[in-house]
Amino acid sequence: MPNNAGPYHVPTRRRPHLPKRQNPYHRSSALISSLRHEEALRLIRSSRAVLAQRIPAPRAGMLIRVAYAPSLAPEAPVHYFTGICIAAARRGLGSCVVLRNVVDGVAVERAFACYSPLVRDATVLAQRNVRKSKLYYLRRKPLRQSNVGKATQRPQ
């Protein structure tokens, strides 16, 4: 009785290797990651990702001054924020740094996207040696440990 399940192969020959069927999401993940990498490089080359260009590897404990605009309008005023980096999230194009400082006796945390065109300038002022990669414990500490000086002052 013939076997209708597939072609007959002589037992002495090796069976052909058929590639495993994969979920389309798994097949395309390499393509998507390479596209994200190309987009990040394009943003850095076009000077739209200033934070990623000036500070390629932000770390917790860095004292960073960021100049940012509230909108993309060319005549928008530039605001400044200085703070200690309490977290650096590395998520490709969604990477961001969280800065913390004390303004008028109130603790303020601001998150700045590394690839945002709103960020006009970024400067590392100092580097503190810390043991942790996230400094969220500063939220429970007294405000004097988060205070690094004038947060919104324009640099001289």
Q: Write out the residue range of the structural domain in which residue 60 sits.
A: 50-145
Q: Of 119, 122, 126, 120, which is closest to residue 149 (Cα–Cα)?
A: 126
Amino acid 7: pLDDT: 67
Q: If you search the block for the tokens 């850095």, which residue do you land on?
A: 44
Evaluate whether residue 10 is within a structural domain. no
- The model's pLDDT over 99-140, given as tens digits with 9 standing for 90+, comes to 999 999 999 999 999 999 999 999 999 998 999 999 999 999
Evaluate whether residue 150 is within a structural domain. no
Amino acid 74: pLDDT: 84
Q: Look over the chain and give the mean of its residue pLDDT values, rounded to a whole number.
A: 86
Domain total in the chain: 1
Evaluate whether residue 13 is within a structural domain. no
Evaluate whether residue 8 is within a structural domain. no
Q: Give me the mean pLDDT over the 70-88 stretch.
A: 92
Evaluate whether residue 115 is within a structural domain. yes
Q: Is the pTM of this model over 0.75?
A: yes
- The CATH number that applies at residue 95 is 2.30.30.790
How many CB atoms sit inside 10 A of residue 106's CB? 8
- The model's pLDDT over 11-33, given as tens digits with 9 standing for 90+, comes to 676 777 777 777 777 777 888 88
Amino acid 95: pLDDT: 92
Instruction: Dump strand ranges (E) for 4-153.
Output: 62-68, 79-89, 96-103, 106-113, 119-127
Counting Cα atoms < 13 Å in the Cβ hemisphere of 65 gives: 15
Evaluate whether residue 105 is within a structural domain. yes
- The model's pLDDT over 23-60, given as tens digits with 9 standing for 90+, comes to 777 777 888 888 999 999 999 899 888 998 899 899 99
Evaluate whether residue 21 is within a structural domain. no
pLDDT band of residue 3 (cuts 50, 70, 90) is low
Evaluate whether residue 136 is within a structural domain. yes
